[in-house]
């Protein structure tokens, strides 16, 4: 009796039930979890493919690592209450362990872990310090800048202030903190003599010769700079891409006139740049103890980048939808710490192209930064050069992808 009681108590303490089932390692997609269970790998019967396998690991080993990982960010809580936010185990599993297992069997594995874990409710650690999540604040910031107060938001409790101003101010501070504290992972150098491609659309190659020069292919003069994702009309920045294909995809997608040809110049950087590189964010695994502290920040940035790179219909809505990224670009551009020369973002247009590097760059330089422009206001040296013979023309083929929608006309 005593033994059974002790066993029940130890099950409660550790937070999961006994199981003799095993899982084959192919279902585990997370390398850190694979490392943690490596010592326990043996042949066995996989409960998920119902087949004897060479490399399996006891489900108990997996669930014990999962509970330990949960307890890094959550406390067990008995009963959900109105004043303490809490999540049930299945929510925590879906939120934090979604990409730990291979997609095909993920549903079954997470369901099985949910059955094994005896804790019902979890309270996020440090919830009392947070006034809402960064992502929620970003959504509020975006809404405020798009629809209520674009250029100034005063968060003053004594005065009439637009709804969301407090959250938006908090987001700006939090965004700066995230960039500062993660700078070693997200700030990268672009060496001298790196090629960045930039171009423009033309209706026929008859126009090509007159436009095949640095002035025509470089950033527009200030008074002709159009509104763009990261800069409002009137502020000229150097937009470019890491490959010709990405450059063509970008300018063709943004060409409201749907012209047939693209002229692309291979601009060369004349000095070293530092960029905020948001192209290849590595969100730490929930099992990665050394980088775990960055998980929240990098996870936020990943969602943020997905939001700001999603294509926008250029039917006039760009004038409002681009506003939040224009504001944040200025914040990054004029911040002293960390000081950067530009931002690299994944190209939404080049996502489906077979190219290794789909980075787009927005560099904080206007037309005067191009060699040969001849009027550098501050007497500094030019930053980009368009070597002779480095302009190529592309014929743009626009494709339409279609899939059947879930709609059918009535048969009656």
Could you tell me the CA-to-CA distances from 368 to 20, 213, 231, 305, 375 in Å, in that order?
A: 70, 14, 17, 29, 6
Compare residues 48 and 394 and give the one whose CB is closer to Zn ion: 48
From start to end of 187-323, where are the E strands? 187-190, 195-202, 238-241, 261-269, 273-277
User: In this chain, which residue has its C-beta nearest to Zn ion?
Assistant: 46
* Axis-axis angle for helices 134-147, 165-181 (nearest 10): 120
Closest approach of Zn ion to the CB of residue 32, in Å: 20
The verdict on 48 binding Zn ion (CB under 5 A) reads: yes
Please state, in angstroms and rounded to a whole number, the distance separating the CA atoms of residues 62 and 56.
Answer: 11
Cβ closer to Zn ion: 21 or 392?
A: 21
CB 248 within 8 A of CB 313: no
Count residues contacting Zn ion (CB under 5 A)?
Answer: 4
Distance, CA of 238 to CA of 386 (rounded, Å): 13
**Window of 39-47, 118-126, 147-155, 185-193 that interacts with Zn ion by CB under 5 A:** 39-47
Identify which range of 48-56, 274-282, 309-317, 377-385 contacts Zn ion by CB under 5 A: 48-56
To Zn ion, the closest distance from the beta carbon of 25 in angstroms equals 8
In terms of CB distance, is 31 or 88 closer to Zn ion? 31
Residue 117 touches Zn ion, criterion: CB under 5 A: no
Complex with Zn ion: residue 48 or 122, whichever CB lies closer: 48
| Residue 45 vs 270, nearer CB to Zn ion | 45
Counting contacts by CB under 5 A, is residue 122 touching Zn ion?
A: no
Verify binding: residue 361, Zn ion, rule CB under 5 A: no
Among 34, 41, 45, 49, binds Zn ion (CB under 5 A): 49
Dihedral sign (CA 356, 358, 359, 361)? positive
CB of 45 to Zn ion, least distance (A): 9
Per-residue b/e over 240-263, b at no fewer than 16 CB within 10 Å?
bbbbbbbbbbbbbebbeeebbbbb
Residue 104 Rama label (left phi>0; alpha psi -120 to 50; beta): alpha
Q: Residue 396 Cβ, how far from Zn ion at the closest point, in Å?
A: 47
Taking residue 33's Cβ as centre, other Cβ atoms within 10 Å add up to: 24
**Using CB under 5 A, which of the segments 44-52, 61-69, 162-170, 382-390 binds Zn ion?**
44-52
- Contact pattern for Zn ion over residues 260 through 289, marking x by CB under 5 A: ------------------------------
Of residues 20 and 81, the one with the C-beta less far from Zn ion: 20
Contact predicate 57/29, CB 8 Å: no
CA-only gyration radius of the chain, Å? 27
Q: Examine residue 46 and tell whether it contacts Zn ion (CB under 5 A).
A: yes
Q: Binders of Zn ion among 6-25, rule CB under 5 A? A: 24
Closest CB to Zn ion among residues 56, 244: 56
d(CA 282, CA 188): 14
User: What DSSP state is assigned to residue 310?
Assistant: S
Closest contact distance (angstroms) between CB of 105 and Zn ion is 7
Which spans of this chain sit near Zn ion (rule: CB under 5 A)?
24, 46, 48-49
């Amino acid at each position: 009796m005593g033994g059974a009681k002790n066993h029940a108590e130890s099950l409660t303490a550790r937070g999961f039930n006994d199981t003799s089932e095993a899982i084959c390692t192919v279902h585990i997609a997370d390398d850190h979890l694979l490392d943690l269970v490596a010592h326990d790998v043996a042949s066995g019967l996989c409960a998920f493919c119902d087949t004897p396998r060479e490399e399996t690991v006891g489900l108990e080993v997996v669930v014990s690592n999962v509970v330990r990982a949960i307890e890094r960010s959550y406390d067990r809580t008995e009963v959900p209450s109105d004043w303490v936010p809490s999540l049930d185990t299945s929510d925590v599993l879906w939120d934090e362990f979604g990409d730990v297992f291979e997609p095909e069997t993920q549903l079954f594995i997470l369901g099985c872990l949910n059955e094994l874990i005896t804790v019902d409710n979890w309270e996020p650690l440090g919830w009392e310090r947070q006034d809402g999540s960064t992502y929620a604040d970003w959504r509020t910031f975006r809404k405020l800048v798009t629809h209520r107060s674009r250029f100034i938001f005063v968060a003053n409790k004594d005065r009439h202030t637009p709804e969301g101003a407090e959250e938006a101010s908090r987001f700006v501070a939090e965004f700066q903190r995230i960039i500062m504290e993660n700078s070693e992972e997200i700030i990268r150098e672009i060496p001298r003599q790196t090629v960045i491609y930039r171009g423009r659309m033309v209706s026929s190659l008859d126009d090509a010769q007159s436009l095949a020069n640095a002035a025509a292919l470089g950033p527009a003069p200030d008074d002709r700079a159009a509104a763009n994702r990261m800069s409002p009309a009137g502020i000229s920045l150097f937009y470019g891409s890491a490959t010709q294909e990405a450059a063509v995809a970008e300018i063709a997608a943004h060409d409201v006139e749907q012209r047939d040809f693209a002229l692309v110049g291979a601009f060369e950087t004349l000095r070293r740049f530092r960029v905020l590189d948001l192209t290849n964010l590595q969100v730490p695994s929930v099992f990665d103890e050394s980088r775990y502290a960055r998980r929240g920040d990098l996870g936020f940035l990943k969602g943020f980048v997905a939001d700001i790179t999603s294509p926008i219909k250029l039917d006039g809505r760009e004038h409002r939808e681009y506003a939040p990224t224009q504001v944040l670009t200025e914040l990054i551009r004029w911040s002293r710490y960390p000081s950067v020369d530009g931002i690299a973002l994944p190209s939404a247009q080049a996502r489906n192209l077979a190219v290794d590097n789909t980075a787009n760059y927005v560099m904080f330089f206007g037309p005067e930064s191009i060699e040969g422009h001849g009027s550098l206001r501050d007497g500094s040296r030019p930053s980009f050069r368009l070597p002779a013979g480095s302009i190529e023309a592309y014929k743009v083929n626009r494709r339409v992808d279609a899939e059947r929608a879930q709609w059918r006309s009535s048969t009656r």
